[in-house]
A and B are shown apart, each in its own frame.
Chain A
């Protein structure tokens, strides 16, 4: 039974997890400062490598003791080596390499996005191939996943990520952070038809997204309302925004599915991953598209959709199972697209 320690430090979270080959998460420690960040209206990054440095030893130790294992029990140590803020990435990768060296274990370098892409195989044992919609604060892309390492980018955002559009809309509406849940909550009692917001790229070929113009339209609509935007105005604008994003995503998903199904007629699953997957209204909107095509929509649980070490450990297990590991001189990369050809 292979067991892998996974370390993630590419953005705000310092995280470590221990995962087994048979899909058990023995420990999943994520150190996040969300509460501290709320005051700033956005995730304030622990960009300083030293912040990761301050925490990582404790986080790794917690993960190992929660799992009740020693380093000798591990089959390997995996770490995110990009993409992300390079200072943080180097901290996590160096700790992982050091542990691998000292305990004579293989080191596995993992692309952070691959961690997100393969999480559905840890949680739901989704078989290849599948269509992945990765939507978070920093990423919005459609990927065809044919196997470990076999990713084809079908489309992505030309400007703002979906989560970013939610965060900035929330900020403009005076809602709290994180923006996704705040906008979703406000939209519950709103009339989505009240504001005619644009649906950028709707009906156009391809699976690319553009949300920057929608953000501007929300600002203009908000400026015409009595300030501060509140009550029914706020709910209606939030609902109108969310509906516009839903329409755009649904339209783009249809196009991505056409390409995916032509390439992979056997594919049966659409996976939505990333923090935005927590939005129930968007999920329902995407579900309606997927169901009409006789496919299944899979969304891993939220705590595994946001950044975590378990996804890195799992991706490490997938790589190890294929006989792959990496040298201790393996470099870290701030930019590292999953589909290198895209």
Chain B
């Protein structure tokens, strides 16, 4: 399935370890704002949840527990910096089911979505799409970030740090 991003700004980070992947998540967390939608794509075991965990913990400012939402489909975090909703649509069958999960209600905050492919054409507007592919080493990942206009400036800034 193809996810369409308008006027794409895109760059790829070569993360050589989980620690580097986590650092990317933390840097991104500092740039994110309520209303942002971040889609995390990649195969099982590629580090999507680990990325989301580092992102949420960075926003929380403390090492809060961030369990995998595969079973519950969504975990919401009411943080001092605002609401984060962490969706995992791995088990989802029908795009329309996502709305039963309260995807609508989550729009005021930051939304992280694993397995966004399950939404079909229903991916929320103007997402940042982050794709995880294998890197040169076992723990390495090639992480590509693609965003529309609202992300261009922030991605340019992020690029300077990697």
- A interface, CB within 8 angstroms of B: 11, 40, 42-45, 47-49, 83-87, 137-139, 156-161, 163-164, 168, 171-172, 212, 215-216, 218-220, 334-335
Contacts and interface: CB of A to CB of B under 8 A. Distances in A.
Nearest to A45: B91
A11 B70 CA distance: 12
18 contacts: A43-B91, A44-B93, A47-B97, A48-B100, A83-B72, A84-B72, A137-B71, A157-B67, A158-B67, A159-B49, A159-B68, A160-B68, A164-B68, A171-B44, A212-B45, A216-B45, A216-B46, A334-B76
B71 to A, nearest CB: 3
A137 B88 CA distance: 14
Contact of B45 (A48, A218, A335): A218
Q: Considering the complex of A and B, which 9 residue pairs feature the smallest CB-CB distances, nearest first? A: A138-B71, A219-B45, A216-B45, A44-B93, A160-B68, A42-B91, A215-B45, A48-B100, A47-B100
Contacts of B49: 159-160, 212
B73 A45 contact: yes
Nearest to B101: A47
Nearest to A337: B65
Given A42-B90, A47-B97, A159-B67, 17 more contacts: A11-B71, A42-B91, A44-B91, A47-B73, A158-B65, A159-B49, A159-B50, A159-B53, A160-B49, A160-B70, A164-B68, A172-B45, A212-B49, A216-B47, A220-B45, A220-B138, A334-B76
Nearest to B75: A335
Contact of B44 (A84, A139, A215): A215
Interface of B: 43-47, 49-50, 53, 65-68, 70-73, 75-76, 90-93, 97, 100-102, 138
A83 B91 CA distance: 18
B65 A44 contact: no
Given A47-B73, A85-B73, A212-B50, A172 B44 contact: yes
A157 B53 CA distance: 13
Nearest to B53: A159
B48 to A, nearest CB: 10
Nearest to A157: B67
B66 to A, nearest CB: 8
A219 B45 CA distance: 7
A43 B93 CA distance: 10
A49 B68 contact: no
Contacts of A138: 71-72
Nearest to B134: A223
Nearest to A224: B138
Contacts of B71: 11, 137-139, 161, 163-164
A137 B109 CA distance: 28
A248 B92 CA distance: 30
B89 to A, nearest CB: 11
Nearest to B97: A47
Contacts of B75: 335
A335 B66 CA distance: 13
Contacts of A48: 97, 100
A219 B50 contact: no
A44 B92 contact: yes
Nearest to B63: A158
A173 to B, nearest CB: 11
A311 B71 CA distance: 20
Nearest to A171: B44
B78 to A, nearest CB: 10
A85 B72 contact: yes
Nearest to A87: B100
A83 to B, nearest CB: 8
A241 to B, nearest CB: 12
B68 to A, nearest CB: 5
A139 B70 CA distance: 11
A158 B57 CA distance: 12
Nearest to B88: A164
Contacts of A218: 45
